[in-house]
Chain A
Amino acid sequence: MIYLDNSATTRQYDEVTEAMVKAATENFGNASSLHRLGFEAGNILFDARREFEDRFAPGGTVIFTSGGTEADNMAIMSTATKLRRRGQKIITTKIEHPAVLETCRRLEAEGFKVEYLDVDVDGYLEPQVLKAALDRDTILVSVMTVNNEVGTIQPVRECQKIVNDFNRENGTKIIFHTDAVQAFGKLRMDEGAFDLVSVSGHKIHGPKGIGLLYMKDSVKLPPFITGGGHEMGYRSGTENTPGIAGFATASSITHKNLEDKMESIGAVNDYLRHGLETELTDIILNGPVELGYTLSDAGKRCPSILNISFMGTRGEVLLHTLEQDGIFVSTGSACSSHKKTSDSHVLEAMSMNHKEIEGAIRFSFSEFNTIEEMDEVIERVKTAVNRFRRLGSFR
């Protein structure tokens, strides 16, 4: 099996599973309990929180959530609750994850104004575009760190700075949020000091059903889920200690020798791209060519993602062909027997036409992928694309 769908989810590290089993069987207590078992469960949380606090700029709090989607919901809904008397406008981009977009649409239905910023053909948000959109009615700006479909690294540090400067000059209290679900564990997030950051566990070889929202202490959101006052009152509900233990273990392993790992992932990514470009004609790289390894590489591509359109084919057919060979990838469009297309909103925002979107495949990598695997992938993709192009389809 060659797994190239790591942006969808990753294989859990064995150490993560072990940590989870231990937390579920030995230290199964409720961290709120006063006895020794509760104390031990509390230690898991303490250690996990410390692991994550080290991954962000100092002066912030880590709130564990049920995943990236909940973290995005909390960031947006709680900011709207907190600042709704100050303003009615939210700014985001057209290429956000549905967890952000749909939450914004919900607020739109409640009367908020949402501005969805355009990106360029590489899926990149020009910081000037954000600057022009800010006004005194704005309360929240949400821009993802790395796009999940094409991998473009967004200028989030500039965005935070633009928001900070605007706040200082105008006395506003605009909060900046970044969905770092695809960036955390690939780029070091402590290179920037952000107001709010969303992270998910299962994208970094951790468990599903766990994530976090990092919150700068000065932001002070209102409670998102009320109850027994867990997570400093921001998000009540008995802590998912096995999930949190696994999540923290995954973070610690992922960040060990991160630069070396990313360099080898980048090499695998480039190798596959060069191989495909050599072996096949009529293919388009979606997103920036150059790979970036830090937050200051905004406008470059995260090494974990490679999105290519194979013109004259359909991504979903390639996907099912490759799965027969044990190769797992993802597409930019889903086939539908109804005429309604289900093209990716990200690729549409990058001004791609239907034919280009229909042929798009996303390869996403982890540290477990090798150059040898890419030789096989190149061969299999080449066969599948040529077969499809020979046979065609009438549409």
Chain B
Amino acid sequence: MKKNLYLVRCGEVALKGMNRPYFERILLERLKKAISVYDGTEAHWKNGLMLVRVDASIPTMEVVKKCSKVFGIASVSPAVEAPKDIDAIGHAAAEFMNRLIEEEGIKTFKIKGKRSDKNFPVKSPEIGRVVGAIVLKECKVLSVDVHNPDCELYVDVRHEGAYIYRDKIKGFGGLPLGTNGRGMILMSGGIDSPVAAFMMAKRGMTIEAVHFHSYPYTSPRAQKKVEDLLEVLAGYMGTIKMHCINLLPIQEQIVQNCPEDETTLLVRRFMMRIAEQVAIKNRNMMLITGEDLGQVASQTAEALVVTDNVVSMPVMRPLIAMDKVDIMDMAKEIGTYDISIQPYEDCCTVFLPKHPVTKPKLERIEASESKLDVDALVTAAVESEEIVIVNPR
């Protein structure tokens, strides 16, 4: 089987000290898993770089996409290998260029040579000149342009071999999945929560999800939408366990017993309590929300103080200081945006008060809540959970 070579570079993992072997091992495992769909795939570390070899019949961009979705990877380059001999390298580079001339019609180029193997007889600046000369001779249509070339070709001479590549497709960076604890994301179905989950997973956190609905006040399609969002996220972080909980019994109690303008906050406090219980049961150490300071009434600084007050677990809010437009851009990049904007009512909007409080006082909220049997409601809600396992597509 003819195989294509890909150079895969790690980002922050390289900065690790004593723990570096641990992170490298996990990262390689994640990468192998991501490309395990292709038979006969090989991947291993070589001097701070991962070399991946995949069946040549698989489209290059498909492999690159799979690799770049693995957290901890900084960039990926489809490459060719050459013997460590300057003529052989020049010949391989010319062959590489011929393909680009045919596929993309490039006319000008520039070679950037680099020699990390200091025993190689040709020094870095010289590699560019020598290889460039061979390419010029073998590819008649090409000319050199050092300032604005159509193609910048990299020649990397390392201990284990020489590599030629052009593209460096950026990955998401971050740290390998599973190296940084477990967190429970509160997923509404909006634009923000999938981005929040993504950002924490990108830092290595294993993610579980809890989704609140108000069936029959909300449509089953609203839950399907959250499943679709998780399916996209699962493409980055593997199978995700989702806990679905019907909040309607609690909302009914709140609507009947508490002031209208506090409804949203009281509901939020219940969500946090329930999420914490579910998190503890499933060995998650923190909660994650997509809250963004000041975006809506329940996300003012005062409101966040009031909602945070009911849980002892740390609450991660990775979007807290981001602007909405940036969150939206990120959602588009991840691929969740188009699903998030489908118009299904979620449980937060069902009993939306006309004028919610924006500067709630903790004592007043607690006084309203005292009319409810909080513990019993939370326990009943936790027990009513339905679990959905969402696999990557």
Contacts and interface: CB of A to CB of B under 8 A. Distances in A.
Interface stretch (A144-152, A276-284, A335-343): A335-343
A372 B33 CA distance: 58
Contact of A337 (B215, B260, B343): B343
Nearest to A319: B216
Given A337-B344, A337-B349, A391-B252, A320 B219 contact: yes
Contacts of B352: 394-395
A316 B219 contact: yes
A269 B291 CA distance: 50
Interface in A156-203: none
A336 B216 contact: no
Interface in B184-231: 215-220
A321 B246 CA distance: 14
B351 interface: yes
- Range for the number of chain A residues in contact with chain B: 10 to 19
A392 interface: yes
Contacts of A394: 260, 263, 351-354
B346 A337 contact: yes
Interface string A334-353: 01111010000000000000
Nearest to B341: A338
Contacts of A317: 216-217
Contacts of B351: 393-394
B219 A335 contact: yes
A323 interface: yes
Interface in A3-57: none
Contacts of A340: 343
Contact of A391 (B218, B256, B353): B256
A320 B216 contact: yes
B83 to A, nearest CB: 60
Nearest to B355: A394
Contacts of A395: 352
Interface string B232-265: 0000000000000000000010011000100100
Interface in B259-294: 260, 263
A119 to B, nearest CB: 28
Contacts of A324: 216
Given A394-B260, A394-B351, A338 B255 contact: no
A320 B260 CA distance: 25
Residue among B215, B256, B343, B354 with most chain A CB within 10 A: B343
Contact of A336 (B345, B350, B354): B345
A325 to B, nearest CB: 10
Interface in A354-395: 391-395
Interface string B343-369: 111100111111000000000000000
Contacts of B263: 394
Nearest to B353: A394
A335 B353 contact: no
B205 to A, nearest CB: 28
A268 to B, nearest CB: 25
Residue among A320, A335, A392, A395 with most chain B CB within 10 A: A335
A320 B347 CA distance: 14
Nearest to A335: B345
Interface string B318-351: 0000000000000000000000000111100111
A324 B346 CA distance: 19
Contacts of A338: 343
B266 to A, nearest CB: 14
A320 B345 CA distance: 13
Contacts of B217: 317, 320, 393
Contact of A321 (B216, B344, B350): B216
Contact of B255 (A319, A321, A337, A392): A392
A335 B218 CA distance: 8
Contact of B343 (A319, A321, A336, A391): A336
Interface string B15-55: 00000000000000000000000000000000000000000
Contacts of B216: 317, 319-321, 323-324
A177 to B, nearest CB: 34
Contact of B220 (A320, A337, A393): A320
A324 B350 CA distance: 19
A253 to B, nearest CB: 33
Interface in A277-297: none
B344 A391 contact: no
Contacts of B350: 393
A313 to B, nearest CB: 11
A391 B248 CA distance: 11
Residue among B216, B219, B220, B352 with most chain A CB within 10 A: B216
Interface in A326-340: 335-338, 340
A321 B216 CA distance: 5
Contacts of B354: 394
Contacts of B215: 320
Residue among A340, A394, A395 with most chain B CB within 10 A: A394
A349 B138 CA distance: 75
A197 B255 CA distance: 52
A320 B263 CA distance: 23
B255 A391 contact: yes
Contacts of B252: 391
A320 B218 CA distance: 8
A321 B219 CA distance: 10
Contacts of B345: 335-337
Nearest to A322: B216
Given A320-B219, A391-B252, 6 more contacts: A319-B216, A337-B345, A337-B349, A393-B217, A393-B351, A394-B352
Interface of A: 316-317, 319-321, 323-324, 335-338, 340, 391-395
Closest CB pairs A-B (n = 5): A320-B216, A321-B216, A335-B345, A336-B343, A337-B345
25 contacts: A316-B219, A317-B216, A320-B215, A320-B219, A320-B220, A323-B216, A324-B216, A335-B218, A335-B344, A336-B343, A336-B345, A337-B343, A337-B346, A337-B349, A340-B343, A391-B252, A391-B255, A391-B256, A392-B255, A393-B351, A394-B260, A394-B352, A394-B353, A394-B354, A395-B352
